């Protein structure tokens, strides 16, 4: 598949670290949703997770987005888009048998972004019912979620004011000129360089584009090994860049 990181389809997630999430769960558009940050915040971030769902690395990331900057706090919402099918099963990795490949292929078919994009409007609507103070939205997507961010940011009249893609999957260079909001893109060493450099060149909005060449695909989510000093360092740096970008544009 053009633009797809091979690692996304072949490398399992890292072991989950010990972490106690600071948020709790609610239902938005019928989907279990992790919520963190001040309940009366006037700025919010939608998190579009990677294919492994609610792993501790990404839950901690949501908490970092919500609380890491004392001067600007956000309420953060991470819906379980794969509630019906479940996230990708670690047991399928590596997909070294026909059976594993078949199961993974079927799962990716059900995870196609166009099937899930229609859920976003109702998620936002329900979030604003829970917190009527929200006036400004950003979004961050990891791997599969990065593709969602790219597609959402190209829609006319989008409610989002800024987007972040990290270790994004399924790059399509033709989407870049359609992006209508400030965009931050943080690819890892395992994303296709030529395609993502062309995507960057095609962006016509305020942007931040930076390669993370020392860490693998998923370095800010499920494939981050927090016991590896370089992984941990770049994980934290990636979140600082994301928070700074939201602070500037929301």
Q: pLDDT value at position 247?
A: 96
In the predicted structure, residue 5 carries a pLDDT above the cut 60: no
Query: What percentage of the chain reaches a pLDDT higher than 70?
Result: 94
Domain around 28: 6-249
How much is the pLDDT for 68? Answer: 85
- Residue 1 is predicted with a pLDDT of 37
Angle at 237 between CA 233 and CA 239, to 5 degrees: 125
Number of domains in the chain: 1
Q: Report pLDDT digits (tens) over 62-84.
A: 999 999 877 778 999 999 999 99
Look at residue 97 and tell me if it is in a domain.
Answer: yes
Mean pLDDT score, 191-217: 97
Burial group, residue 98, by CB count within 10 angstroms (0-12, 13-18, 19+)? exposed
1 domain-assigned: no
Using the predicted structure, report yes or no on whether residue 219 has a pLDDT greater than 70.
yes
Q: How far is it, in rounded angstroms, from Cα 166 to Cα 238?
A: 8
Quote the CA–CA distance of 7 and 192 in Å, as a whole number. Answer: 11
What CATH code is carried by the domain that includes residue 18?
3.40.50.1820
In a domain, residue 195? The reply is yes
Q: What is the CA radius of gyration of the chain?
A: 17
Question: What percent of the chain lies above the pLDDT cut of 90?
Answer: 80
Residue 236's pLDDT is 95
pLDDT confidence of 10, banded at 50, 70, 90? low
- Entry pTM: 0.94
Using CA atoms, how far apart are residues 151 and 172, in angstroms rounded to an integer? 10
Phi, psi for residue 35 in degrees, rounded to 5 = -125, 130
Q: How many helices (H) and strands (E) does the chain have?
A: 8, 8
Q: State the average pLDDT over residues 211-232.
A: 94
Distance of alpha carbon 147 from alpha carbon 218, whole angstroms? 14
Residue 2 in this model has a pLDDT that exceeds 80: no
The average pLDDT across 217-229 equals: 92
Span 97-146, pLDDT tens digits: 999 889 988 988 889 999 999 999 999 999 999 999 999 999 999 999 99
- What gap in Å lies between CA 88 and CA 99, rounded to an integer? 14
Q: Looking at the domain assignment, is residue 202 inside a domain?
A: yes
Phi and psi torsions of 165, nearest 5°: -120, 130
- Structure token pair of residue 204: 């016509």
With respect to residue 93, please indicate whether it lies within any of the assigned structural domains: yes
d(Cα 93, Cα 101) in Å, to the nearest integer?
9
Residue-wise pLDDT tens digits, 136-163: 999 999 999 999 999 999 999 999 999 9
Contacts of 121 (CB under 8 A, 6+ apart): none
Distances (CA, A) of 248 to 41, 63, 227: 16, 19, 31
């Amino acid at each position: 598949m053009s633009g797809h990181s091979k690692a996304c389809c072949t490398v399992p997630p890292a072991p989950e670290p010990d972490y106690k999430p600071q948020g709790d769960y609610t239902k938005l558009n019928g989907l279990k949703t992790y919520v963190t940050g001040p309940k009366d915040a006037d700025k919010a971030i939608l998190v579009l997770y990677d294919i492994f769902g609610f792993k501790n690395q990404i839950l901690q990331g949501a908490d970092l987005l919500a609380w890491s900057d004392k001067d600007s706090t956000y309420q953060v919402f991470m819906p379980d888009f794969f509630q019906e099918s479940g996230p990708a099963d670690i047991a399928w990795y590596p997909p070294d048998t026909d059976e594993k490949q078949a199961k993974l292929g079927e799962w990716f078919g059900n995870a196609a972004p166009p099937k899930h994009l229609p859920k976003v409007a109702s998620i936002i609507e329900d979030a604003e019912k829970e917190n009527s103070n929200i006036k400004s939205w950003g979004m961050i997507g990891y791997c599969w979620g990065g593709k969602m961010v790219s597609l959402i940011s190209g829609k006319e009249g989008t409610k989002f004011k800024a987007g972040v893609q990290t270790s994004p999957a399924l790059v399509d260079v033709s989407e870049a000129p359609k992006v209508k909001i400030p965009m931050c893109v943080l690819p890892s060493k395992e994303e296709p360089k030529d395609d993502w450099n062309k995507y960057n060149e095609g962006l016509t909005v305020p942007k931040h584009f930076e390669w993370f060449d020392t860490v693998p695909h998923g370095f800010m989510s499920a494939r981050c090994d927090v016991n590896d000093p370089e992984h941990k360092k770049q994980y934290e740096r990636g979140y600082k860049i994301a928070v700074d970008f939201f602070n500037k544009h929301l």
